[in-house]
Structure 1
Amino acid sequence: MATDYKLKKLNAGRDFIANNYHAPLSLSDMAKYSYMSPYHFLRTFKDTYGETPNEYLIRLRVEQAKKMLITENFSISEVCEKVGYASLGSFSSLFCKHTGMAPTLYRRKLWALSTDAYRFPLQVIPACYAYHFLGKVAK
């Protein structure tokens, strides 16, 4: 388990990754932001969060891509670029690995649940959030 001081440094590195997921990031960049060597950062990050910094970055990018595919009218290539991938093939294979389907199929299936194009289907939004959001719109 990381000490409070190490945890603060790790959190700074994790926040750096989260705020810059759309940019090309190397392990050295992430570690530098946490004031650790790349190897020490990698090992401590994995021990603390249960995933490597790269796995965390990929998960963030895929989650953001899922949101964009549902709520935006960007092409798959544009989504790929906006979440930080230069290669459409790499993006598609990672997306498929994490979601079990290709980005195009993911978009098609979730858009089919919605009556409004480019709107996140209400069936997938937690009810507490939907009520909160719909309550503000109705006022």
Structure 2
Amino acid sequence: MSREFITQNYQTSLCLTDIAKQSYMSPYHFLRAFKEAYGETPNELLIRLRLEEAKKMLITEHVSISEVCEKVGYSSLGSFSSLFTKQVGIAPTLYRRKLWALSSEAYRFPSQAIPACYAYHFLKKHGK
């Protein structure tokens, strides 16, 4: 239940106390139980979800880095950029530039960045 809550609300401001309330636990007990059950803390899950979405948006949408930052739930561009760089290994602008350079069509996922199994299921689902 709490994992789904985080997944559905990752773009909003979430705190451990609010997430723990969803499971009727104290924050400390919830944190321990969540980590044991899923192998990551709620904050690690939140960061992972936000950055996965940010990476998709940076490649597929022609919006500013600030807009991506806001849409995935961060209020500070500096914090978002620092976290992105730490987790991904390069800054968001450089990430976008490098992957767009691989693509022959602007603002679309380059084929080298899409796992073949995902592309197959996507095309099959959309009747292409």
Q: List gaps (5 residues or longer) in structure 2.
A: none
Could you tell which deviates more after superposition, 118-127 or 18-27? 118-127
- In 1, Cα distance between equivalents of 2:15 and 2:22: 11
Match of 2:29 in 1: 40
- In 2, Cα distance between equivalents of 1:129 and 1:59: 19
Give the greater-gyration-radius structure (CA). 1
- The runs of at least 4 consecutive aligned structure 1 residues that moved more than 6 Å come to none
Structure 1 residue 122 displacement after superposition: 0.9
Name the Cα RMSD after superposition.
1.3
- In 2, Cα distance between equivalents of 1:37 and 1:115: 51
The total of aligned residue pairs comes to: 126
Could you tell which deviates more after superposition, 128-137 or 56-65? 128-137
Could you tell which deviates more after superposition, 114-123 or 46-55? 46-55
Q: Secondary structure at the match of 2:30?
A: helix
The TM-score with structure 2 as length reference comes to 0.93
Structure 1 residue 119 displacement after superposition: 0.3
Residue 63 of structure 2 is aligned to residue 83 of structure 1: no
Identity %: 75
Q: List gaps (5 residues or longer) in structure 1.
A: 1-11
The TM-score with structure 1 as length reference comes to 0.86
Match of 1:30 in 2: 19
- In 2, Cα distance between equivalents of 1:123 and 1:52: 31
